[in-house]
Amino acid sequence: METAMQRTFDYVIAGAGSAGCVLANRLSEGTGAPHVALLEAGGPDTAPEIRIPFAFHELFKTEYDWNYTTTPQKELCGRELYWPRGKTLGGSSSLNAQMWIRGHRADFDGWAESCPGWSYDVVAPYFRRAERRAGSNADGVYGSSGPLWISELRSPSPVTRAFLRAAEDLGLTRSGELNQPDNTGFFATPVTQRRGRRWSTADAYLRPALSRANLHLVTTAHVQRVLLDGTRAIGVEYRDTDGQIRRVGARREVILSAGSIGSPQLLMLSGIGDTAHLRHIGITVRCALPGVGRNLQDHLAVGVYRHCPRPVTAAVGADSVLSLLRYYLAKRGKLTSNIGEAVSFIRSDPGLSAPDLELAFAPLPYIDHGFGSPATHGISIGAVLMLPKSSGRITLASPDAAVSPVIDPHYLEDQADLDTLIVNVRLAERLLNTNALRLYAGAPMDPYPGPVGDDELGKYIRAHSQTLYHPVGTCRMGTDDNAVVDPWLRVRGVHGLRVVDASVMPRITRGHVHAPTVMIAERAADFIRDTEAAG
């Protein structure tokens, strides 16, 4: 036994984000359920901006955000990119744009090639288990009785409807409902909202469970490392709100749900990772796993911005007295917008079996995470690098958990990624020139230069692309020697330790990653209960 524990539970979960809230609920439910401790580094999710869908970017660089920054990116003009990540109950589901996009069948069937048991047909019921669809549900695609409300936007912009008509005018095909197995097409975005209010995983999963005597939640509890007895995880060490170090024990398992940055950081701080790197930082190696922190993937996006000659877009007037009254009295109007109101998933070649391009539409100029957005009418189309060939790495900067790790995504280091973004921007430009959008798409808006040659467009992409907030893959699951966790999400070489969050994804999805993260946690809860039942 490495150290004495203040308290001991059956399960200790590090991180009350998209995955941690799911696990806390599922593991603590039922008669005779085990005792669960849920530790969250941030505080309660009390900011009013968390509830208001349109206001999510107001939470960036506040106490609710980890406020990460990448290393200078060689292929992005040496820029350090800002990466917001949720630091509160609900994690990034309390700060995101609420877009519920499962991904394509090919994503999960691709996972199953190296991770048995993760094919689309296997995971689809776990999406439905989470979902409570409000609105259209063609062919019963969505679940109808889950805890997470999936809704249509209550007050979509007229320009968003024009974007959807423009996609149709351009001849883009449509497979039906966005979250069917094939997500090819153009769609109004389903959102995690309940009657116009954000519905995070803290709302959906955690709050209904907090009255259970067997669930113990601790906020402002920054986990420092996993405690090991030989090759078995026996608990965690965390720093509380007063700066004191405390320890809690785990009789059965420790579960890391700290996300694609926090989970590999915690493994490495605990001596689990690449031997050479850990020794360089001054950490004793407890389990050599060279894949920890590697395989970092993200969706990079670049905006195509146009002035809007008509005063109908979402940016202007969202903070007016009338907009505030409409929201607080009826939960309608501009403040119910999630900003990313529509998406299109496109096959650049009709011969492809799945889409390889994404365009995301916003009925306002969403520039530099909202910090650079002018108070004028405009529209944005985000051209998204959906299947990056480049991948990066998370490493430690210090053995101190308070020091942010080193984030190096290696954006655009494969030339094919830049070529793909150029193709995608050209498609966005064609959409903006359709008859459907002509009334709303005026002159180019800075910093977008307007139609230019490929060389100039490449320079624009390098100078202005940003994260779409989807880091995954840094604790990759698989069956090979470089995998960090096995297909049951157990850390290889360590007993009683799992990782359950977006970091376990072997490959980024053709969509956005919140829905797959919730699905992973729902599936992991079954894995854990099966292990418990087997003794």
How many Å apart are CA 291 and CA 475, to the nearest integer?
7
Q: What is the mean pLDDT of the chain?
A: 96
How many Å apart are CA 210 and CA 214, to the nearest integer?
9
260 and 112 within one domain: yes
pLDDT per position as a tens digit, 338-387: 999 999 999 999 899 999 999 999 999 999 999 998 889 999 999 999 99
Work out the percent of the chain whose per-residue pLDDT is above 70: 99
Neighbour count for residue 524 (Cβ, 10 Å): 25
Neighbour count for residue 305 (Cβ, 10 Å): 25
Neighbour count for residue 493 (Cβ, 10 Å): 13
Q: Which of 470, 495, 512, 514 is catalytic?
A: 470
87 and 138 within one domain: yes
CA neighbours within 13 Å on the CB side: how many for 174? 16
Which pLDDT value is given to residue 252?
A: 98
Query: Is residue 59 included in any domain, yes or no?
Result: no
The CATH number linked to 250 is 3.50.50.60
Q: Read off the pLDDT of each residue in 127-143 and give the average, rounded to a whole number.
A: 93
pLDDT per position as a tens digit, 310-333: 988 887 777 788 899 999 999 999
Query: Is residue 305 included in any domain, yes or no?
Result: yes
Q: Read off the pLDDT of each residue in 91-100 and give the average, rounded to a whole number.
A: 98
DSSP labels, 205-235: IIHHHTT-TTEEEESS-EEEEEEEETTEEEE
Query: Is residue 77 included in any domain, yes or no?
Result: no
Q: Read off the pLDDT of each residue in 465-490 and give the average, rounded to a whole number.
A: 98
Residue 156, pLDDT > 50, answer yes
At residue 509 the predicted structure's pLDDT band, cuts being 50, 70 and 90, is very high
Which pLDDT value is given to residue 2?
A: 43
Which pLDDT value is given to residue 55?
A: 95
DSSP labels, 261-294: HHHHHHHHHTTEE-HHHHHHHT---SEE-TTTT-
How many Å apart are CA 449 and CA 457, to the nearest integer?
8
Does the pTM surpass 0.95? The reply is yes
At residue 535 the predicted structure's pLDDT band, cuts being 50, 70 and 90, is low
Residue 132's beta-bridge partner residues? Answer: 144, 149
Q: Read off the pLDDT of each residue in 465-493 and give the average, rounded to a whole number.
A: 98
Through-space distance between the first and last CA atoms of the chain, rounded to whole angstroms: 22
Residue 73's beta-bridge partner residues? Answer: 79
283 and 245 within one domain: yes
439 and 334 within one domain: yes
pLDDT per position as a tens digit, 173-224: 887 789 999 999 999 999 999 999 999 999 999 999 999 999 999 999 999 9
Q: Are 509 and 386 in contact (CB under 8 A)?
A: no
Residue 470 appears among annotated catalytic residues = yes
DSSP labels, 111-165: HHHHSTT-SHHHHHHHHHHHEEEES--GGG-S-BSSSEEEE--SS--HHHHHHHH
Residue 495's beta-bridge partner residues? Answer: 232
Structure token digits, residue 491? 């850390």
- The count of structural domains within the chain is 2
User: Domain limits at 354?
Assistant: 154-188+300-387+413-464
445 and 349 within one domain: yes
Query: Is residue 141 included in any domain, yes or no?
Result: yes
Please state the three-class secondary structure of 471-495 as a single string. Answer: CECCCCECCCCCCCECCCCEECCCE
Handedness of CA 109, 152, 94, 306 (dihedral sign): positive
Which pLDDT value is given to residue 138?
A: 82
Structure token digits, residue 364? 């306002």
Which residue type sits at 484?
A: V
Q: Read off the pLDDT of each residue in 405-422 and give the average, rounded to a whole number.
A: 98
Q: Read off the pLDDT of each residue in 136-154 and give the average, rounded to a whole number.
A: 94
Query: Is residue 107 included in any domain, yes or no?
Result: yes
The CATH number linked to 444 is 3.30.410.40
pLDDT per position as a tens digit, 41-60: 999 999 999 999 999 999 99
206 and 91 within one domain: yes
How many Å apart are CA 214 and CA 36, to the nearest integer?
6
How many Å apart are CA 180 and CA 127, to the nearest integer?
11
398 and 352 within one domain: no
Query: Is residue 194 included in any domain, yes or no?
Result: no
232 and 137 within one domain: yes
Residue 1, pLDDT > 70, answer no
Residue 3, pLDDT > 60, answer no
